[in-house]
Amino acid sequence: MRTNRGAYDEHYKQLEGFTIKKFLGMSEEEYGDGFPQFTISNGKEDLMIEVSQDPEGNGGGFLFISEVKQ
């Protein structure tokens, strides 16, 4: 089975060190509920991130929030 694990690791590791500053709401989309949007910062740079169901942006996604199990 082939996976894109390496590509995902490279993509998401660029978020390390950032902190969510604000939930901006849901993007305006003609069809569907839109995308959850957040402003994040690392103290030097601010970015906006959006949660999508896939890399092509075929619809908004859901971000799971869980406790860290130690």
Q: Exposed (0-12), middle (13-18) or buried (19+): which is 68, by Cβ within 10 Å?
A: exposed
pLDDT of residue 5: 81
**Could you tell me the pLDDT band of residue 46, with boundaries at 50, 70 and 90?**
very high
**Could you tell me the pLDDT band of residue 2, with boundaries at 50, 70 and 90?**
low
- Average predicted confidence (pLDDT) for the chain: 90
Phi/psi for 35 (5° steps) reads -115, 135
As beta bridge partners, residue 34 has none
Average pLDDT on 29-46 reads 91
pLDDT of residue 1: 58
Phi/psi for 6 (5° steps) reads -60, -40
Average pLDDT on 18-43 reads 92
